Amino acid sequence: MKKSTFVVLGMLLIMLGMMAFSLNGPRAKVPVYLVKKDSAASVAAFKQVYTVLMSPRCMNCHPSGNVPLQGDDSHPHTMLPKRGVDGKGVYAMKCMNCHQPTNTPGLHMPPGNPKWHLPPANMKMVFQGRTAPQLAKQLIDPKQNGNKDLQKLIAHADDELVLAGWNPGEGRTLPPMSHAAFKKAWTTWLTTGAFAPSGK
């Protein structure tokens, strides 16, 4: 074997070793979910999921218009802040101008999260006004759900901003079930085929 060939082979082996480490070493193992279709179980699970997604803690940031909703009665947000292109507001009316990285203490004070925003203008992910069948179909459509596949949809249940719904700050009701119960129903719905309830 020529010396140059030996050097090239050696470098390739080192690179392969580094790739193997970077792919497997430092990363935490992500569970892979498989689908086992069961329409009855799926529809039953979605009925639970729907009650959470339509609760003010979720729906208020998934409005049908370009102004977020506010409060347990889901009224339009005072001051009428606009969504903006990226969902983070416009000019002097950006979400993070009032919403801090954590909840501001006090009754009805601005809730906080470092990622506080609406869905962007090109992917509005509207919940408000959607029926259960409409929302179920929308949630699994990559063109309407932020290009999420099954694994990403399941992982989204633990998104920082989703979790904020269960830490809403003083004076706001919680979603109708615990986050653990929601995640179980969400995962069940998706892994049993993500069937939509019948009807329009």
Partner 1 sequence: MITVNINQKTYHVDADPDTPLLWVLRDHIGLVGTKFGCGVAQCGACVVHLDGEAVRSCVTKLRRAEGKKVVTIEGLSPANNHPLQKAWLELDVSQCGYCQAGQIMSAAVLLKANKNPTDQDINDAMAGNICRCGTYLRIREAIHLAAQLQKKEGSGK
What number of helices (H) and strands (E) belong to the chain?
8, 4
| Nearest distance from C-beta of residue 108 to partner 1, angstroms | 8
Residue closer to partner 1, measured from CB, 98 or 125: 98
Contacts to partner 1 by CB under 8 A: 78-82, 90-94, 96-98, 100-101, 104, 106, 108-110
26 vs 105, beta carbon nearer partner 1: 105
Q: How far is the CB of 147 from partner 1 (least distance, A)?
A: 28
Q: Who contacts 117 (Cβ-Cβ below 8 Å, separation ≥6)?
A: 61, 86, 87, 88, 89, 95, 161
CB of 90 to partner 1, least distance (A): 5
CB of 112 to partner 1, least distance (A): 9
Distance CA 18, CA 22 (A): 6
Q: Are 75 and 132 in contact (CB under 8 A)?
A: no
For partner 1, which is the closer residue by CB, 70 or 187?
A: 70
Tell me the chain's radius of gyration from C-alpha atoms: 22
* Helix 179-191 and helix 39-53, axial crossing angle in degrees, nearest 10: 140
Nearest approach, Cβ of residue 80 and partner 1 (Å): 5
Query: Which of 34/92 has CB closer to partner 1?
Result: 92
Using the minimum distance from each CB to partner 1, give the nearer residue, 105 or 199.
105
CB closer to partner 1, 104 vs 134: 104
Q: How far apart are CA 145 and CA 33, in angstroms?
A: 19
Q: Which of 72, 145, 61 is nearest to 95 (CA)?
A: 61
Pairwise CA distance, residues 135 & 145, whole Å = 10
Cα 129 off chain centre by: 19
Shortest distance in whole angstroms from residue 128 CB to partner 1: 21
